Structure 1
Amino acid sequence: MILINYFARYRDLLNLGGEKLPLTTDLDTIEDVRRLLMARGEVWTNVLGECNLMCALNQELCQTDQPIEDFDEIAFFPPVTGG
C-alpha cells in the first residue's frame, strides 16, 4: 500500500487531499503512479501532466523516476515560490 497526497491547487482541482493505493508489480516508480492516476481522465491528466509538477517521496523532494516501495508516501504539488 502506498499513500498519495495532493497539495495546494492540486488538492482543489482534484477535490481530493490524499488516497491509498495498493502497490502492484507494475508500479516501480513515481512516474508509474503518475501515469496510472492520469489514466483516470481529463482533470487528472491536466493536473498531473504539468511539466513543472513537483513530487516528494517520504517527505523528501525527488524526481518522478524515483523507485518506490510498499508503505511509501508520495506527494504531488505545484511549484512553490518564496519571497
Structure 2
Amino acid sequence: MSELEPFEYETGTAIRDYDIIEIKPTETGYEVTLDVNLDSGYSLSKTKLEISQEDLEGYETNAVEEGIKYALGFFS
C-alpha cells in the first residue's frame, strides 16, 4: 500500500456531537477516545484526541471534559 500525501483543506464539516469513551492520563496531559458524529451524517469511531495540560491552562480550566469541549470548538 502506498503512502498517502496529506491534502490541505480550508474547511470541513462541523461536529454535531461526540461521546467520550475513555480518558487516559499521559505524561503531558490526556489521551481521549471519542466517538464523533459529523453534520455530514458520517461518524468517526474510537477517534483519539491528545490534550495537554498546557491546552487546559489555555482554556482556563482543570476539567478535562471542558477542555475537550473547547478543543472541538464547542464554546458557549
TM-score w.r.t. the length of structure 1 is 0.29
Q: 1 or 2 for the larger relative contact order (CA 8 Å, sep ≥6)?
A: 1
